[in-house]
Chain A
Amino acid sequence: AQSVAQPEDQVNVAEGNPLTVKCTYSVSGNPYLFWYVQYPNRGLQFLLKYITGDNLVKGSYGFEAEFNKSQTSFHLKKPSALVSDSALYFCAVRDQGFKTIFGAGTRLFVKA
């Protein structure tokens, strides 16, 4: 069965510093991997996805993620964090069908 793990409940970074939000996955076959962001009292918004090809995927708002097949990881990164990046981030995996499974979420707190 496919699954996604986000080992950190919360990540704290100072504004201007690089940030990393971790994600590992377990899936049979080729994974389709996603990152979504949720701001307070809002629905989830798509950030980026990995299907195939280049292991470094660039997405919205300056975010990028690195796919690592040997470590089954798909960590979200940003070179320089903004206070406005503070939100709840979800990693997700989708199989060849229609089911998208989400991780438990990681709360990112960026301090000014």
Chain B
Amino acid sequence: NAGVTQTPKFRILKIGQSMTLQCTQDMNHNYMYWYRQDPGMGLKLIYYSVGAGITDKGEVPNGYNVSRSTTEDFPLRLELAAPSQTSVYFCASSYSGFYTEAFFGQGTRLTVV
């Protein structure tokens, strides 16, 4: 059982470049999330989705975009990368969206230089 899979695991971007972080889950969860983790900080929510075709902003959405065309996939798009986007990105999914725990991917370590 793969759970939540993120690709790539590591990436170095130059300022101004764009990229998509991929996230897929095989648990048929409706709720999916993107968080970022900065050094010494907890995770902060970027975007979330309650089902295919439905997405909404979290606490720190600026500079990012998401889409949810299928239940399984929830890609995160970075446009015009900036050094402030250097972080570790985690994708997560949950069954109920409230009373059940979230399952996290392995994370993507992104460096913008």
B is a partner of A = no
Binding site for A on B (CB under 8 A): none
